[in-house]
Structure 1
């Protein structure tokens, strides 16, 4: 299991290839990548976090996913700092003996990261900046877990 909270970009292809190569016993690998959407005049996004707790919080939820779905491995990379539209924000990868577990665990991790991981996002637009508020739909997604 690996969690990386970093400011620098990552090579998605290299990360997936490395993760897959190290996933002994897996019959399925699922990956998801989040990208800064270029919508509504968005010129950039600033992602802040509390270094003392962010990695530990993500590691705990990754460990829960590994146990719950019997994953052979899991990976979460999440960026912080200033990001432009089109840049990768994060990726999740899960490896399991069967695809159902790999997909479910990846979706669980995404729902957690969206709603509970200690990140704060501020969007910049042509008209100014604003903090991103929690969405009811994101909270509703957590209820199924």
Structure 2
């Protein structure tokens, strides 16, 4: 099983996600760190992702291989993350057959209504619960 974690900018969110996934899921699960830039990829690799790649093409190709994609919802919004998310990246994520677990971390000018405002740590715990439930992982 492959879980692709996508992040950009400084990679802090992705690094926290990778660290928690590595801690709470079995070691046979591969975690791919997919950064929109090398700093983000590096931060996720330091959090013990199995493999890492950077840039538009890496995200497009790896999104096809992933069983699960975990990322801030902004990866589906072209030009978000200060322009790091391209149209090809957002299209690849949206079109992927992978289960997409998108954290409601939004650009400043977008507001999602009806969502509970939770700290990142709780969002990551919820993410792990969904993965375990959907793939019968104990």
Q: With the length of structure 2 as denominator, give the TM-score of the two structures.
A: 0.30
Higher helix share: 2
Higher strand share: 1
Relative contact order (C-alpha < 8 Å, sep 6+): which is higher? Answer: 1
Larger radius of gyration: 1
